[in-house]
Amino acid sequence: MSRQRSFLLLQGPQSRFFKRLGETLAAQGHHVAKINFCGGDVLHWRGRNTRIFNGPRGRWVERAGSLMEELSVTDLLLFGDRREIHRAAIAAARARSVRVWVFEEGYLQPGYITFEPDGVNTRSTLPRNAEAVRRAAAGLGPVPDLPAIPNSLRIRVMDTVRHHVGNVLLWSVFPFYRTHRPYVIGRELVGWLPRYLGRKRRAEAAAETQRRLLADPAPFFLYPLQLNSDFQIRLNSDFADVPDAIRNVLASFARNAPAGTMLVVKNHPLDNGLIPYGEVVAEAAERLGLGDRVVYLDGGDGGLLMDRCRGMVVVNSTMGLEGLLAGRPVYCLGRSVYGFPGLAATLDELPLEEFWNNPVQADCELLELFVRVLSHRALVRGNYYTDEGIAAVIEGVCKRLALYPAAT
């Protein structure tokens, strides 16, 4: 990044990460500006290089384009390329030859975040077949075996609370702002507070259920749930929501899984509690006559479960890639960067009905090459919340930015 560039930052993770990144880029001699869209953005970023957008959504496209021209922007940085305000800004950037950079949660967790040029997930430029992976991996060395930098759920929760407090306190400044999430914070708190108060009891119950499960020699498949607010569910799958996916997976299991095989449905650790997944699973299991062949876990150890399961079924969760690396056969129901022949089985290759009886193992060599490409082009070590994690991400991001000069 020796040549001076002009970075425009939109919404980032709900943390101080964008503030630290902006300060680092400015210290390197680049121009940095940030647009705040809500009160939560303001609490995480303030300063003279800040602009706000608090008008109706219909005016944003024109405003985004005029700001890029006014600031001579060379690089646009944002978290998540499917938010409405980000989609509009990306279109404006591409019309002006501004390079787009997208942050996301890591394709491979824990220990990594995602940072890619142009787009992530289904909009990623990562190779999508074995031949393309092998070409892209040519000349790349093995991924360094570095220890994962610990993340902090407590800091993440506090940063999220801070963001939403800012939204409430400064609502009158941003009256047109609407979150990209399907629920407003008031409704989410209705679910989060009981889950927080009952976390110890829930963890103990899950640990006991998992202990009994692992002591039973019966084979089982693992189905980890995703958040219902996840754009991966809403836009990169054919399911209406997570309950719709649950009912479809259980129906396929009931019709086709071998007798004596069990299915473990594991809830996401950051679930807000607004959907009673235990009841959804129990009702579907009863209707399908599955009895005790289906186990629901609201907690537990995903690593231990992966080590023991016969295979994994995911929509497009990052746990699918973790399962592949753990040596488990994985079936991907949605669209993902790892869902193609040689890695995770998909509908194009194999019906789910056949997977229950003949789980398809990944090609180990291809998986290793894919992770090399992923590490080189998409992953950055660290996290968005702890000081150590943020410092590591910033170091990795600056190195990647230097590899890709500003678009001309």
Q: What are 111-152's pLDDT values in tens digits? A: 999 999 999 998 999 999 999 999 999 999 998 888 889 998
Could you give the 3-state DSSP secondary structure of residue 239?
coil
pLDDT at 2 over 80: no
pLDDT in tens, 213-234: 999 999 999 999 999 888 788 8
pLDDT of residue 160: 82
Q: Give residue-wise pLDDT tens across range 163-199.
A: 888 888 899 999 998 887 665 555 565 556 677 777 7
Q: What is the mean pLDDT of residues 321-339?
A: 96
3-state secondary structure of 129: coil
pLDDT value at 73 more than 90: yes
What is the layout of strands, in order, in the sheet containing 294-297?
A: 294-297, 262-266, 220-224, 311-314, 330-332
DSSP β-ladder status, 75-79 and 6-9: parallel
The Cα–Cα gap between 73 and 45 comes to 19
Pick from 91, 25, 26, 55: nearest CA to 35:
55
Q: CA–CA separation, 314 vs 331, rounded Å?
A: 6
Q: What is the mean pLDDT of the chain?
A: 92
- Residue 194: its pLDDT value, please? 73
The confidence band for 153, taking pLDDT boundaries of 50, 70 and 90, is confident
Which amino acid belongs to residue 142?
P
Cα–Cα distance measured from residue 392 to residue 106, given in angstroms and rounded to the nearest whole number: 14
Using the structure block, give the residue that is written with the tokens 């022949």: 341
Beta bridge partners of 296: 265
Determine which of 1-10, 29-38, 290-299 has the lowest per-residue pLDDT on average. 1-10
Q: Is residue 61 within 8 Å of residue 91, measured between CB atoms?
A: yes
Contacts of residue 292, Cβ cutoff 8 Å, sequence gap at least 6 = none
**Residue 376 φ then ψ, to 5°:** -75, -35
pLDDT band at 240 (very low <50, low <70, confident <90, very high): very high
What is the C-alpha end-to-end distance of the chain, expressed in Å?
Answer: 14
Q: Is-contact 349 330, C-beta < 8 A?
A: no
The yes-or-no verdict on residue 372 having pLDDT over 70 is yes
Residues 6+ apart with CB under 8 A from 145: none
Per-residue b/e over 217-237, b at no fewer than 16 CB within 10 Å?
A: eeebbbbbbbbbbbbbbeebb
The β-bridge relationship of strands 75-79 and 262-266 is unpaired
Q: Which residues contact 202 (CB under 8 A, 6 or more apart)?
A: 195, 298, 299
Residues above pLDDT 70, as percent of the chain: 96
- Using CA atoms, how far residue 404 sits from 192, 257, 408, in Å, is 41, 48, 11
pTM tops 0.85: yes
Placement of tokens 């800091």 in the chain: 155
Q: How far apart are CA 50 and CA 142, in angstroms?
A: 41
List, in order of start, the domains of the chain with CATH numbers: 6-151+379-403 (3.40.50), 202-369 (3.40.50.2000)
